[in-house]
Amino acid sequence: MLKYILTRILTTVPIMAVVALFVFSLLYITPGDPAAVIAGDQATPADIDRVREALNLNEPYLIRFATWVGQVVTGDLGRSIFTNLPVATVIGQRIGPTLSLMAVTIILAVLTAVPLGVLAAWKAGKLADRLVLLLSVLGFSIPVFIVGYLVTYIFAVKLGWLPLQGYTPISEGIWPWLRKLILPALALSLAYIALLARITRSAMLEVLANNFVKAARAKGVGPGAILFIHALKNAAVPVVTIIGTGIGLLIGGAVVTETVFAIPGLGRLTVDAILQRDYPVIQGIVLLFSFLYVLINLMVDIIYAMLDPRIRY
C-alpha cells in the first residue's frame, strides 16, 4: 500500500511541472506586447515600462521561468499589479469563502445523490427511477446561473427564508455561516447531484445483478443491508471517481455562483483579475486550482486502493 501511494505521489510531480509551465506561459499567449496588454489602452510608455520591469519581461524566457518556479516553491506567487499586495495574500483573503462553498456543496450533493441513485437502482423501471432520471436530465440541462436566480427568487425574494447575497465567516457562528451558503450550494450542486445520482444508479444496477446479492436475498438479508452494506460498497469505486472528478465542475461553477450571490471568493477574484488584466493574480489562482485538482485525484486514487486492493497491483 505504501509503495502504491509513493508511486502515485511521484507521478504528480511531472503533471505539476507541465501545469506550472502552462500557467507561466499564460502571460505570453496573449497576442502583442504583454506589458502593453496588461497596462491597458490608455497606458503611457512609462506605465508600460513599469509593468515590464515588475514582471521581469526584459529577461530571457527560460530565466524568467526558472526564477518564477523558484519563487513559487518558496510560496512567493508574485505581486498584484493593481493592489501591489502579494498574490498569496490576495488569494488567502478570498480562499475561505470558496472552500466553504465547495465543502457545503459536496456534502449536500453526496448526501442527496447517493441515496437517490440507490433508490433508483432498487426501483429500476418504476416511478422513483423515472423521477431520478428526470432530475438528472434537468440537472445537466439548466445552467448554474439560471438555477441561482431561480432559487434566489423563490427562497430569498418570495419566501424570505434565506439571505439574498453575501458571506459570513464561520468564526461568527455555524448557522450564520451555513445560512449564507445554502442557496449558492443548492444552485451549484444541482448538476453535481444529477451526475452523481446517475452514476450511482448505473453502478448499483450492475452490482445488484451479481450472484452474491441473489445469495444474500435467498438467506433472508433485508433490503437495507443488501443496498447499503453489500451492494453500495462494491459500487463505490465509480461513485468515488465521480465525486473526485466532479470537483472540476465545482471549480468552474464557483465562478458563476460567486458572481450571482456576491460571495467574495476566488471565483469573483478570478473575474476581477481577468477584467483588470492582473496576470500575476490569474497565474496564482490557476496554479492553485490545478494543484487542488491534482491533489484530489491523488486522494481518489488512494481511496481506490483502500476500496479494492486489486488496484494496488
212 and 109 co-located in one domain: yes
161 and 40 co-located in one domain: no
What pLDDT is attached to residue 299? 79
157 and 273 co-located in one domain: yes
Assigned domain for 170 exists: yes
44 and 179 co-located in one domain: no
Nearest to 278 by CA among 34, 69, 32: 34
CB 235 within 8 A of CB 207: yes
Q: Residue 313 above 60 pLDDT? A: no
d(CA 259, CA 84): 24
Q: Residue 93 above 80 pLDDT? A: yes
pLDDT digits (tens, 9 = 90+) for 133-171: 888 888 777 777 788 778 888 888 888 788 877 888 888
Strand partners, 269: none
pLDDT digits (tens, 9 = 90+) for 271-304: 888 777 777 888 888 888 888 888 887 777 777 6
Assigned domain for 19 exists: yes
CB 104 within 8 A of CB 85: no
Q: What is the CATH number of the domain that holds 266?
A: 1.10.3720.10
Angle, in degrees to the nearest 10, between helices 87-122 and 247-260: 110
Assigned domain for 213 exists: yes
Structurally, the chain folds into a number of domains equal to 2
171 and 244 co-located in one domain: yes
CB 287 within 8 A of CB 25: no
Assigned domain for 82 exists: no
What pLDDT is attached to residue 31? 62
d(CA 85, CA 98): 20
pLDDT digits (tens, 9 = 90+) for 214-238: 777 777 777 767 777 767 777 777 7
Assigned domain for 127 exists: yes
Query: In which domain, by residue range, is 110 found?
Result: 90-312
52 and 119 co-located in one domain: no
